[in-house]
Structure 1
Amino acid sequence: MASGFGTTGDPEAIVGRLRAFFASVLPEIDLEPDQDYFALGLVNSLLALELVTHVEKEFGIEVDVEDLDLDNFRTMDRIAAFVRGKLAAAR
């Protein structure tokens, strides 16, 4: 588990780290936590794979095949909820 997240994770801290990821891969776009970057056409399949890998490494979780539902990853808010659920389940 990544340090600083405890067992449930702080949603604002999670979103902050996701913002940093998106700022590095989409520097020209300022996304809000509830914006659907897939619907906006900003994320292709390669970037989606990078996002999943980043989430695993950044938050010390494992994204299982059954977790690869687009709804878990379409916004930063949804990723934060997903990460919190995974961290809580690991308790």
Structure 2
Amino acid sequence: MSVETTITTERIEQRITAFVTGRVKTEVPPEQDLFATGLVSSMFAMELVVQLEQDFAVQILGNDLKRDNFRSIEAMTALVSRLRDTEPSADA
């Protein structure tokens, strides 16, 4: 899948929501704690890492692999937005 060069935070959230909703087969509000509600297991959390890396062309390493970054759709959206802002551009 090709990654859009510029993507809004809203679009990032929509794409993450679509993926999570598709996997858990229920609507998930962006602020809902996925671990506390039991919607996400540690195995699914690893799938989320891979999905976010592939879908948004980012690398999630080191301190970014904290559970808090995957606790909610909001948290994942913030993580991807931050990583995309700090990724070196192809023109650099």
Backbone CA RMSD of aligned residues: 1.5
Stretches of structure 1 lacking an aligned partner (at least 5 in a row)? none
TM-score, normalised by the number of residues in structure 2: 0.86
AA aligned to 2:27 is: D
AA aligned to 1:31 is: V
Following TM superposition, where does structure 1 have runs of at least 4 consecutive aligned residues deviating by more than 3 angstroms?
none
| Count of residue pairs the alignment pairs up | 87
2:61 corresponds to 1:64: yes
AA aligned to 2:48 is: L
- Within 2, Cα distance between the matches of 1:14 and 1:51? 13
TM-score, normalised by the number of residues in structure 1: 0.87
Instruction: Single out whichever of 62-71 and 47-56 deviates more from structure 2.
Output: 62-71
Aligned identity (percent) is 32
Higher normalized contact order (CA 8 Å, seq sep 6+, divided by chain length): 1
Stretches of structure 2 lacking an aligned partner (at least 5 in a row)? none
